[in-house]
A and B are shown apart, each in its own frame.
Chain A
Amino acid sequence: VAVDSAPARNRVPSRLTAIDRWIFADGDPLRYLVVRRALAALLLVRIATWRYHSYADLPDELVHHVWYWRWTDGMPHVGAMVALQVLGALAALGVLVGRRPAACFAVAWGCFLALAGLRAGVGKVLHNDAMALVAMVPFLVPGPARADDPGAAGRSGWPLRAAQLVVVLIYFTTGVQKLVHSGVEWVTSDNMRWIMEGGAAGARLLPAVPEWIASEPLLWRSAAVALLGLELAFPLVLVHRWARRALLAGVVTMHLLTLVTLELDYLSWIAVDLALFIDWVALGERRHYIGASARSRRAVA
C-alpha cells in the first residue's frame, strides 16, 4: 500500500504545480493589450449607457445596499452618480487611447464597481455585471504599457489566464448550484417551462417567443439540457480548441436567448467571454489584419 500510495500522494502537488505553471507562464503582450482594451471598452459602454441616475429618487425603504455602500442609508445624490459615470467613462477612454492605461483601468473599474453596486442594492442579487467585475480583477495589477516593454511577456500571460479561470469557475458554479438546490429535476421536471411562462408574463418586447418555447415540450426540455450541460462542461473551454469554439458559441447563444425570452441583460458576460477566450491577435494575423513584421515592431500604448 505504501508503495502504491506514494505516487498518488505526489500526483496532487504535481497537478497543482502544473496549474501554477500554466497560469504564470509567459504570455503574448499584444494579446494582453488587446484584451485590456476590450475590457475597457466594455467598462465604457456599461458605465456610460446605463441610467444609474434614475435610482437617485428611490425611497430609502427600497434600498438595501451591497456591503461597500452600507455606510449610507439611501441612494447618493444624482450629481455623485453622474460624476462617477463621467470619471469612469473618461478613465475607460484613457485606457483605449493609451494614456496611463494601468491607472485609468483601475479608476474605471472602481467607478463601475461603485455604480453597479448601487444597481445591485435595490433587489435580489444581480449577476448582470458581477462576472465582468470579478474577471477584471487580475487586470488591476499594472501590466505592460507597450508590447515592446522589457519583460512584457512575463507580465502578460497570468492576468488573462487568471481571468479565464475565474470565468470558468463562475459558469461551473452556476451549474453546480442548480444541481445542489434542485438536483436533476432542474432538467427532468417542467422547471424550464415555468421559467419560460414566467418570462412570457413579464415580457415587454417579445412575449410570443417564451410563450412559444413554453408551448413546445421538445424546445424547453432541450433548452434545459443544453443550458445545464453548457455550464457544467464550460471548463473544457480551457482544454481544447474545438471545445472552446463550441462552448463559446453555446454560451453566447444562451445569453442572447435569455435576453430575448426573459429580458435579462447578460451582454457583459458575452463581451467578457469573447474578449478572454478568442485570441483576436492570432485571428488578426491569420486574416492579415496584423502583419508578422508589424507585430514585432508594433508598440501599442
Chain B
Amino acid sequence: VIEGCPSRAPLGASGGAGTVCAVEEAAGGSTSKGPASGPNRWGRPRRRVPRAVVYGLLAVLVLAATTGAELWPFNSWQLFSHLRQPRQTAVAVVVERPSAEERLDPTMLWGEYRSLGHGISRAHGKGQEALGELCDALYAEVVGPVPDATGLRIERTTTVRPSDPGSGNRPRVLDRQVLTSCGG
C-alpha cells in the first residue's frame, strides 16, 4: 500500500496524473481508480465510472440526434417534425368477401398492433415480391377469423382534406391504386 492510498495495491500510472491507486469509496465499497490525492484537478472527488456513464450517455444521445442513427431507444427524436399536408397518402388492406368488402383492422388479429401501414410501406419499398409475400401471410392470418374471405387487396389511397373548416372535413379520395392482391 503506497502512501496516500487508503488500501489496495497500486494499479499503475495514468496520464501524468501521478501514481494511481485503487480507492475504496467510503460509500458502500465500490472500487474506483483515483490519484493518491483523491480530488481531481477541479477539486472534486474523482468519479470515473459515473463520469464515463454521464458523458458517454450524453454523447450517444447527441450523436443519435444529429446523425439520425437509429440506435433505439436512442434516436433522432423526430416527433411530428415534418409538416402535415391536406393531401395524404395511406395504404390499407381490404378483405374481399362474397357479401361485402371491408378494411382490415389489424387489432382484430394482433391485439395492440396498429402499425400495419408502416409494415406495408416497408414491404412495398423492398419490391413487389416482398409485398406479395406479405399479402399471402396476411391472407393466411385473415382466413381464421374471417372464414368466408375470398381474397385480400393491398391498396394505396391518396386523399385531400377540404381547406374550408365548415365543409364537414371529410377527406376526398383523389386516387386509389391496387398495389397487389392475393387469396382465392
Contact = CB atoms under 8 A, between A and B. Distances in A.
Interface in B18-54: 25-28, 30, 42, 44-45, 47, 49-51, 53-54
Given A122-B113, A214-B169, A180 B81 contact: yes
B50 A158 contact: yes
Contacts of B130: 61
B78 A211 contact: no
B42 A20 contact: yes
Contacts of B84: 191, 194-195, 198
Query: How many of chain B's residues touch chain A, expressed as a range?
Result: 35 or more
A217 to B, nearest CB: 8
B27 A150 contact: yes
A127 B72 CA distance: 9
Contact of A122 (B27, B30, B65, B119): B119
A116 interface: yes
A99 interface: no
Given A51-B111, A59-B134, A177-B81, A169 B58 contact: yes
A142 B123 CA distance: 44
Given A130-B75, A150-B26, A155-B28, A55 B110 contact: yes
A138 interface: yes
Interface string B97-139: 0000000000001111111111100110000001001100110
A181 B73 contact: no
B53 A166 contact: no
Contacts of A23: 54
Given A24-B50, A61-B130, A162-B53, A130 B72 contact: yes
Interface string A35-66: 00000000000000011001101111110101
B73 A61 contact: no
B150 interface: no
B27 to A, nearest CB: 3
A137 B74 CA distance: 11
Contacts of A189: 83
Chain A CB within 10 Å — which of B49, B50, B79, B83 has the most? Answer: B79
A222 interface: no
A116 B165 contact: no
Nearest to B46: A24
A253 interface: no
Contact of A144 (B27, B45, B110, B169): B27
Contact of B57 (A17, A162, A201): A162
- Is chain A's binding surface mostly helix, strand, loop or mixed? helix
B61 A145 contact: no
B88 interface: yes
Nearest to A18: B42
Contacts of A120: 72-73
A182 B81 contact: yes
Nearest to B116: A62
Interface string B56-79: 011001100100001111111111
Nearest to B165: A215
A58 B115 CA distance: 11
A170 B79 CA distance: 11
Interface of B: 25-28, 30, 42, 44-45, 47, 49-51, 53-54, 57-58, 61-62, 65, 70-86, 88, 109-119, 122-123, 130, 133-134, 137-138, 140-141, 161, 163, 165-166, 169, 171
26 contacts: A21-B44, A24-B44, A50-B112, A54-B112, A55-B110, A55-B111, A57-B141, A58-B113, A59-B137, A61-B123, A61-B133, A61-B137, A62-B115, A62-B137, A123-B114, A141-B50, A154-B45, A159-B50, A166-B58, A169-B58, A182-B81, A194-B85, A200-B169, A201-B171, A211-B169, A215-B166
Given A55-B113, A57-B141, A113-B73, 8 more contacts: A64-B119, A66-B72, A123-B117, A124-B115, A134-B73, A177-B79, A181-B78, A191-B83
